[in-house]
Amino acid sequence: MHILVTGGAGFIGSHLVRQLLDAKHTVVVLDNMSTGALEHLSGLDVVLWKQDVRDRNIVQQIVFENFDVIVHLAAQTMVDVSIKEPVFDASENIMGTLNVLEAARQCGARVIFASTAAAYGDVAETDLPVKESQALHPQSFYGLTKVGAEKYLQLYHDIYGLDYVACRFANVYGERQGDKGEGGVISIFAITEHVNTVYNLSTQTETSLLHLVKVMSDIMGKKIEPHFDVPREGDIYRSVLSNEKAGLYLDWKPECSLEDGLEKTLKYFTGHVE
């Protein structure tokens, strides 16, 4: 298939691009390089459009390429930035998404959309782990714009027949993760059923920050002293997502333990930090 990945030079995008190429798809990456990096795509057989998804001119460019699938990862992903700059957040996450949807409906592409656990907000402990049917109460403009984008996806399906899948990611980490924020589900591209819906992508395992510090201390072989401060505005206090639906309909399950994932991540940063 001919696939466009917006934000494909970023952390999640560059991992997904490699998977798509391994699966013998042709890939075009659209990225304005605000958080992505050319080195993330080094040596890969991809076409790079160094452009901003908010640019209206990109719509016809996408339509002309006649993509089969558009994976929309490009976004403003920082909760604190959305609190400080809600207009900027909306321009990235709403207007940028609308450009993608307009292009997709004109060329008939399916859209895979990266949403977030921030859509749920704080959830009562009795409702954990959170299922996709949980009411959405975002506490940040970032979460709000992602919920809004999901609603646009639903209406584009209802009105224009656009097919989509939205994936609500839990906290993500790994090699090539930047300090400015951000595994695709390959099976989504091939399935003909169970689309036009939302899936949580999560290990379904709750990890406290203190336990995270302990695991990182063990891996690094040195003690890390945590610093306690006031909660950041807009952050969710406690969250764990159910992955039951993704396992049932996408045959998806997490394949990397926290310890192994953190070890790979720390090794990556050790080799890239001067």
Does residue 152 have an active-site annotation? no
Q: Collect all residues with Cβ–Cβ distance below 8 Å to 16 and sequence separation of at least 6.
A: 5, 8, 71, 73, 183, 184
For 209-228, the pLDDT digits (tens) are: 888 888 888 888 888 888 88
Residue 5 in contact with residue 67, Cβ under 8 Å? no
Range of lowest pLDDT (13-22, 113-122, 147-156, 259-268): 259-268
Total structural domains in the chain?
1
- Kindly report, residue by residue over 107-142, the tens digit of the pLDDT: 999 999 999 999 999 999 999 999 999 999 999 999
- Number of Cβ within a 10 Å radius of residue 133: 8
Which two structure tokens, joined as six digits, stand for 227?
């610093």
Q: Of 142, 156, 164, 199, which residue is the catalytic one?
A: 142
Average pLDDT for residues 79-83, to the nearest whole number?
Answer: 95
Which CATH number covers residue 38? Answer: 3.40.50.720
Indicate if the pLDDT at residue 179 is higher than 60: no
Confidence of residue 180 (pLDDT cuts 50, 70, 90): very low
Q: Return all residues near 243 (Cβ < 8 A) that are at least 6 apart.
A: 200, 201, 202, 203, 204, 252, 253, 254
Distances (CA, A) of 244 to 7, 130, 254: 28, 10, 11
Residue 263 has pLDDT above 90, yes or no: no
pLDDT at 274: 47
**Is 80 exceeded by the pLDDT of residue 256?**
yes
Q: What is the pLDDT of residues 188-199, one digit of tens each?
A: 555 766 899 999
Strand order in the sheet with 164-169: 47-49, 26-30, 2-6, 69-72, 110-116, 164-169, 197-201
More confident of the two residues 231 and 11: 11
* Range scoring the smallest mean pLDDT among 29-38, 56-65, 233-242: 233-242
Mean pLDDT of the chain: 89
As given in the structure block, the two tokens for residue 216 are 């990182």
Q: CB of 111 within 8 A of CB of 72?
A: yes
CA–CA separation, 195 vs 151, rounded Å?
Answer: 15
pTM of the complete model:
0.78
Task: Give the C-alpha distances (Å, rounded to integers) separating 154 from 19, 148, 184, 198.
Answer: 27, 10, 20, 10
List the domain range (segments joined by +) for residue 40: 2-272
